[in-house]
Structure 1
């Protein structure tokens, strides 16, 4: 199961370390942390994040969603993972897929430059742990987490457990942030497409040929940084480091 972190002002925050890899090892801790909006993180919360090694924050939200402040000693970069390509988003917003893993594969195929920009930013971030987040820490954050976990050879069960933790955290998120995170709506959308949250995630995971995607859209340095989690672990068998 994912490792939750006790950070004042966050309810959907967790380590990507400690998850099972296909070779029986575990993903390294202190490399990547995922979270929701940082607006409510207290000074004590930032101290805890620093103590955990966080030196960089990647904000995945759209420019108009920008809110809150990151302490001056922590590097921050905003990379719009969604993008403004209305031809892509209009139908997915109208049928609700935007809040589920149902759009992940299409996003990777049709808007590859969006995720490539995020991974380039992660590769170039200062030494230390990288925290990446969106508004809910659910699906934009979930897409990046899934790719990072696939890149380092995490098992399907481990990656699915990480994705599903957001559903478990939803009640605490509602209490902390005083707004709905649309759990019932997400479940209804998935059901209309014949899925549960778990089956939707697993179907996406099984269809993701990450090696091919990396070859097509990242340069050799970023591939190395992604597949070794910024030099903290050896690359998973079967993933290549090649020039674009």
Structure 2
């Protein structure tokens, strides 16, 4: 597995490369990096990210959440993955706390497919080079996107779960760096109320994430589908259809 990225100003950054696929191969490194907010990344951190190959940053947060600046040498794209104006969808998840867990992922993909479709289109049309995508904690919205990208390359369930759980392992370091709590205990308590642990919630979601059906029902353009299923041409697709 590709190790955590040690970038000044980030405590939850990792490459999605090096994860085992169902055919025994591994996801390519340098294509997708996930992280938390970039507010604490200084000039040294940005130089390191650029040297690593990052050429596009995609901010998944709602417009009112956006903070920080990205150097002009890196393309900056904003995609409101939540669809913050979709209050009918979010009301129940915000009321009981499930918005901060993988429990909402599948419902989001089914009810608001256009939000992910916008993000996948942005990935497809991004400049050549690595893509870093992030939300605030690099945990939930970032976790949803990571799950989709890992499913697209048929990453094993165990490897996908291990990637997700890194955010729990990194929570203390994030809290120290960003000087705020990331509510680990609260997340676990909410999951427990719904009969889950962090692992079982993500595992259950990932096992039921049928990307082929989602692609068909969402009318995603063929070029976007190919780009996602090959990680922008960096990996072979296992699609036999």
TM-score, length-scaled by structure 2: 0.97
Please give the secondary structure, in 2, of the residue aligned with 1:55.
Answer: strand
Write the mapping of 1:73-112 to structure 2, written as runs, cut at 5 A: 73-83=73-83, 84-112=85-113
Q: Distance in 2 between matches of 1:3 and 1:147?
A: 20
Q: Distance in 2 between matches of 1:6 and 1:144?
A: 21
Q: Relative to structure 1, is the Cα distance of residues 11 and 103 closer, same or farther in structure 2, using a 3 angstrom cutoff?
A: same
Deviations 1:185-232 (A, max 9, x none): 100000000000000001101111111111222100110110000010
Unpaired segments of 5 or more residues in structure 1? none
**What root-mean-square deviation, in Å, do the aligned CA atoms of Structure 1 and Structure 2 show?**
0.9
Please give the secondary structure, in 2, of the residue aligned with 1:162.
Answer: helix
Report if aligned partners of 1:190, 1:200 keep a CA contact under 8 Å in 2.
Answer: yes
Partner of 1:67: 67
Write the mapping of 1:16-55 to structure 2, written as runs, cut at 5 A: 16-55=16-55
Q: Distance in 1 between matches of 2:221 and 2:27?
A: 23
Q: CA deviation at 1:237?
A: 3.2
Q: Distance in 2 between matches of 1:215 and 1:112?
A: 11
Partner of 1:169: 170
Please give the secondary structure, in 1, of the residue aligned with 2:170.
Answer: helix
Q: CA deviation at 1:73?
A: 1.0
Please give the secondary structure, in 1, of the residue aligned with 2:105.
Answer: helix
TM-score, length-scaled by structure 1: 0.96
Report if aligned partners of 1:3, 1:17 keep a CA contact under 8 Å in 2.
Answer: no
Partner of 2:141: 140
Please give the secondary structure, in 2, of the residue aligned with 1:10.
Answer: coil
Partner of 1:230: 232
Deviations 1:158-202 (A, max 9, x none): 100010000000000000000010101100000000000000001
Q: Relative to structure 1, is the Cα distance of residues 2 and 188 closer, same or farther in structure 2, using a 3 angstrom cutoff?
A: farther
Structure 1 segments of 4 or more deviating over 2 A? none
Pairs aligned (count) = 239
Partner of 1:221: 223
Report if aligned partners of 2:11, 2:177 keep a CA contact under 8 Å in 1.
Answer: yes
Unpaired segments of 5 or more residues in structure 2? none
Report if aligned partners of 2:70, 2:76 keep a CA contact under 8 Å in 1.
Answer: yes
Q: CA deviation at 1:133?
A: 0.2
Q: CA deviation at 1:2?
A: 5.4
